[in-house]
Amino acid sequence: MATMSVPATHADAQSIDAYLDRYMERQPGTKIQYGHPSPRFWENRAPQFSELLEPLTPGRPLTLYLHIPFCPPTDPPACGFCLFAREDFTAYKLVVTYVDYLLRELDRYHELLGRRKLRAIYFGGGTPNILKPQEARRIFQKIHECFEVPHSAEVTLEGTPALFTMDRLEAYAEVGVNRLSIGAQTLKPHLIKYSGRKQRPEQIERAVEFCTEHHMSCNVDLITGWFEQTPQDLVDDIDCLADWGVTDMVNHPLTLQGGSAFAAHQDKLPPVAVTCRSFLVARERLLERGYRADSYTDYRRSDLPVVQYLELYRDILNNDRIGVGYGANSLMAGTLDKPGHTYKNVVGFVPYYEGVEAGACVDGIFKFNAEDLRLLYVLKGLEGAPYLRASAYKQTFGADLHEDFAPWWEALQKRNWLVWGNGGEMPKLVGEGVFYMSTIQRAISEPRNAVLRGGETHLSTSLPAVPATSAVA
Ligand SMILES: C[S@@+](CC[C@H](N)C(=O)[O-])C[C@H]1O[C@@H](n2cnc3c(N)ncnc32)[C@H](O)[C@@H]1O
Ligand code: SF4
């Protein structure tokens, strides 16, 4: 075990408590797009592909993420709540052009990497089920050319209910998609109307039935904290989806950021305390209905193994992810001796196309230090059920999980938001602590964020340095 040490800052339980108090009035939402740190701290530049791939570790499981940004237009725009990189769909020929560039980006990776084996593939968006059979086939043909895809690989494609037509579903199954993720948000027509989507529950039921008949896993995304939504609305949705045979469900607390229409009318949303109760009632119901919590938002039928795409987060330091397509995000942790980076592709069709042609389509990159890796490990670990273990932390960082974050644990325990399972081995958020996950994550990363901001933290003194070790290999 080695040598390099990283300065960090510390805090006392009282200031953490005050920090949590201040933020509890705010809708915590979910860090749905990025982990640590926020992209506002990233360098704004466009490295060449060769630099991007430097920290990719041979033999480490590799996941491929493909971003399909098109979405059916809605009023209000972007379904009223969405924060993802997306564009209104106007004409299918633009999708065909986009796919041409996506394939060129895959070629670039292939030229530099050779034919690497993939652990999992995820089509996210935007709305990947905008893809018609022909484009789905082209993309899969290219993926197989560029990567080895073992039979065991989980291949997820997400989409919006109205576009899961039978011809598309059949084509997706034929090319190897084995898991659908349906962005329902709510099954209730009087609630979904706020998103401006033309969506009917039968469209979701039909896609679920297709999955059951074709032995595919089927996830449905729900959102807690919607206009007019009551805890009973969520329970009804969960019961209905469980009766239909859905294998996985995600329950996201609504994230309000930027200029979304929902954020502009947040005074009309349920109060945070009601959203918290709905979120916890939904959690209870999912567990009663035989689903296992694999993270604070992800549930799976308890007879099935953990979703592979989630394994990536379960062990974030030992899984690499390449994201292709406009706005896509990649992460390669590297090692503690030689930390890696995270980067994101440029947003917008023209800059993305120009970037692919020039061999540089990234517009933001963040180079981790060992402290960032420790934070990523702890923040992602806390999201799990639980993924964080004191013995694994000791092995990875050569340090004591209890001591390193002692004031945070103390503040959380005082609120009954945290328990230590297995004789002090596993910290696990409980009760309202689960709902306030992203607020807690913000409190834990605040000292490091203050350093990145170049300013003072509200939580100051010093944390023991991270001893760099090659345990992350
Ligand atoms: C890329 S989007 C969805 C895929 C598809 N376009 C759809 O809407 O059905 C992935 C998921 O993120 C979640 N999501 C997006 N914006 C969110 C927000 N502001 N708060 C909470 N969840 C959000 C939704 O549950 C959504 O299904
Ligand atoms: S929620 Fe889905 S369909 Fe709506 S704007 Fe976001 S990505 Fe597009």
CATH of the domain at 200: 3.80.30.20
**59, burial (CB in 10 Å: exposed 0-12, middle 13-18, buried 19+):** exposed
Q: Is residue 252 part of a domain?
A: yes
Which residues touch 152 (CB under 8 Å, ≥6 apart)? Answer: none
303 and 434 belong to one structural domain: no
Which among 27, 32, 89, 168 is the best mutation to test ligand 1's pocket, defined by most ligand atoms within 8 Å of the CB? Answer: 32
Read off φ and ψ for residue 236, nearest 5 degrees.
Answer: -60, -45
**Tokens 């590799």, residue located:** 62
Q: Is residue 200 part of a domain?
A: yes
Task: List the residue whose alpha carbon is closest to atom 1 of ligand 1.
Answer: 125
Nearest ligand for residue 123 CA: 1
Strand 87-88, strand 70-71: pairing = parallel
Q: Is residue 32 part of a domain?
A: no
- What is the CA(349)–ligand 2 centre distance, in A? 17
Residue 67 tokens, joined: 């971003």
Cβ–Cβ < 8 Å for 220, 249: yes
Cβ–Cβ < 8 Å for 184, 161: yes
Of 279, 312, 345, which one is at a domain's C-terminal end?
A: 312
Helix axes 390-397, 370-383, angle to 10 degrees: 170
Task: List the residue whose alpha carbon is closest to atom 7 of ligand 2.
Answer: 126
Q: Which of 52, 67, 69 is nearest to 108 (CA)?
A: 52
Indicate whether 9 pLDDT > 80: no
Q: What pairs with residue 8 in β-bridges?
A: 463
Indicate whether 8 pLDDT > 60: no
- What is the CA(48)–ligand 2 centre distance, in A? 30
Of 312, 328, 355, which one is at a domain's C-terminal end?
A: 312
- What is the CA(10)–ligand 2 centre distance, in A? 39
55 and 19 belong to one structural domain: no
16 and 84 belong to one structural domain: no
Q: How far is CA 341 from the centre of its chain?
A: 17
Indicate whether 136 pLDDT > 90: yes
Indicate whether 37 pLDDT > 70: yes
User: 179 to each of 77, 127, 170, 309, 323, how far by Cα in Å?
Assistant: 28, 15, 13, 11, 19
160 and 297 belong to one structural domain: yes
Cis peptide before 386 (omega within 30 of 0): yes
Provide long-range contacts, Cβ within 8 A and 24+ apart, for 193-198. 194/80, 194/226, 194/227, 194/228, 194/262, 195/74, 195/76, 195/79, 195/80, 195/81, 196/74, 196/75, 196/76, 196/79, 196/80, 197/72, 197/74, 197/79, 197/160, 197/162, 198/72, 198/162
Segment 327-361, tens digit of pLDDT: 999 999 999 999 999 999 999 999 999 999 999 99
Q: Is residue 326 part of a domain?
A: no
Helix, strand counts (H, E) of the chain:
18, 20
In ligand 2, the atom with minimum distance to the C-alpha of 160 is: 3
Residue 19 tokens, joined: 């920090």
Task: List the residue whose alpha carbon is closest to atom 10 of ligand 1.
Answer: 183
Q: Which of 136, 224, 216, 142 is nearest to 180 (CA)?
A: 216
Q: Is residue 357 part of a domain?
A: no
Q: How far is CA 288 from the centre of its chain?
A: 25
**pLDDT at residue number 257:** 81
Largest Cα–Cα separation, the chain: 60
Domain count for the chain, please give it: 2
Q: Is residue 341 part of a domain?
A: no
Q: Which domain holds residue 303?
A: 49-312
Residue 361 tokens, joined: 């389509």
Measuring from each residue's beta carbon to the nearest atom of ligand 2, which residues come in under 6 Å?
A: 71, 78-79, 82, 84, 86, 125-127, 160, 183
Measuring from each residue's beta carbon to the nearest atom of ligand 1, which residues come in under 6 Å?
A: 29-30, 32, 71, 81-84, 124-125, 127, 158-160, 183, 185, 221, 223, 252, 254-255
**pLDDT at residue number 461:** 46
Cα–Cα distance for residue pair 126/100, rounded to 1 Å: 17
**Tokens 């959380």, residue located:** 412
**pLDDT at residue number 458:** 62
**pLDDT at residue number 454:** 87
Mean pLDDT within 112-135: 97
Task: List the residue whose alpha carbon is closest to atom 14 of ligand 1.
Answer: 82
Q: Which DSSP helix (H) or strand (E) runs through 343? A: strand 339-345
Average pLDDT taken over every residue of the chain: 92
252 and 182 belong to one structural domain: yes
Indicate whether 50 pLDDT > 90: no
Of 266, 287, 312, which one is at a domain's C-terminal end?
A: 312
Indicate whether 199 pLDDT > 60: yes
Cβ–Cβ < 8 Å for 343, 362: yes
53 and 130 belong to one structural domain: yes
pTM above 0.75, yes or no: yes
**pLDDT at residue number 462:** 46
If you compute the radius of gyration of the chain from its CA atoms, what whole number of angstroms results?
A: 22
Segment 207-253, tens digit of pLDDT: 999 999 999 999 999 999 999 999 999 999 999 999 999 999 999 99
Q: Is residue 349 part of a domain?
A: no
